[in-house]
Amino acid sequence: DTAVSQTPKYLVTQMGNDKSIKCEQNLGHDTMYWYKQDSKKFLKIMFSYNNKELIINETVPNRFSPKSPDKAHLNLHINSLELGDSAVYFCASSHFYRKDTQYFGPGTRLTVL
Amino acid sequence: AQKITQTQPGMFVQEKEAVTLDCTYDTSDPSYGLFWYKQPSSGEMIFLIYQGSYDQQNATEGRYSLNFQKARKSANLVISASQLGDSAMYFCAMRGQYNNNDMRFGAGTRLTVKP
């Protein structure tokens, strides 16, 4: 059974376009996250949602907007894509009050041309 | 602020030998969790092992063990009996108490297992 899933796995698009990445978890977790991994493999948290409320919003451009229709889903919408947005985006989930778990999705490789 | 440091960009180990990947951290939280993840060339992030800051014993999961030295703020990963499939990037991460969702990652160590 898939625990954390993301679609699409690959996304190639032109500069200026708007795109979305979907994430779903079936682990019963109440918190979901988006991370960005750059070309140097550095992972940085972008957003966190707990019970559909935004908890963390690191210094991410407002072109990025997370949307959580329910506890099991956290989608990432990106407006006016730029070359620098090219990266791998990971969704993850965990329990808010348990520190011992955080599971990642397979990642979405976004390439902006 | 939390900080995770992995000082080894790359490591080599002979197959069947043990290897230690270093991780040091800095935090003012009294309670925190330390994680190790493996990222093979296929790209997924695989959870390996967890150590709580108040856990009395070092965590172990199969061939993985975490050498936790709280006073030194280090959480090194030990992989015993290395296998070719262990070749991957390894990330150390920490999650604090007061901001439960604030997980910070180190820069990673690329491990290559030689036959």
A106·B33 Cβ contact <8 A = no
Quote the CA–CA distance of B105 and B11 in Å, as a whole number: 18
Give tens-digit pLDDT for A53-78: 887 777 889 899 999 888 899 999 99
**Please, what is the average pLDDT of chain A?**
91
Q: Give the pLDDT score at B28.
A: 86
- Chain B nearest CA to A107, separation (Å): 6
Q: Give the pLDDT score at B78.
A: 98
Picking from B71, B89, B101, the residue whose alpha carbon sits closest to that of residue B2 is B101
**pLDDT tens-place values along chain B, 115 residues long:** 778 999 999 999 999 999 999 999 998 888 889 999 999 999 999 999 999 999 989 999 999 999 999 999 999 999 999 999 999 999 999 988 666 567 889 999 999 999 9
Q: Give the pLDDT score at B99.
A: 61
Residue with tokens 């949602």: A49
How does strand B10-14 pair with strand B109-114?
Answer: parallel
B2 touches B102 (CB < 8 A) = yes
The answer to whether residue A10 neighbours chain B at the CB level (below 8 Å) is no
Contact residues, chain B, for A103 at CB < 8 Å = 47
Is residue B85 left, alpha or beta, with left meaning phi > 0 and alpha meaning psi from -120 to 50?
alpha
The full 3-state SS of A63-85, as one line of letters, equals: CEEEEEEECCEEEEEECCCCHHH
The answer to whether residue A39 neighbours chain B at the CB level (below 8 Å) is no
Widest CA span in chain A:
41
Picking from A71, A61, A7, the residue whose alpha carbon sits closest to that of residue A33 is A71
Regions of chain A short of the pLDDT cut 70:
1-2, 99
Q: Give the pLDDT score at B49.
A: 95
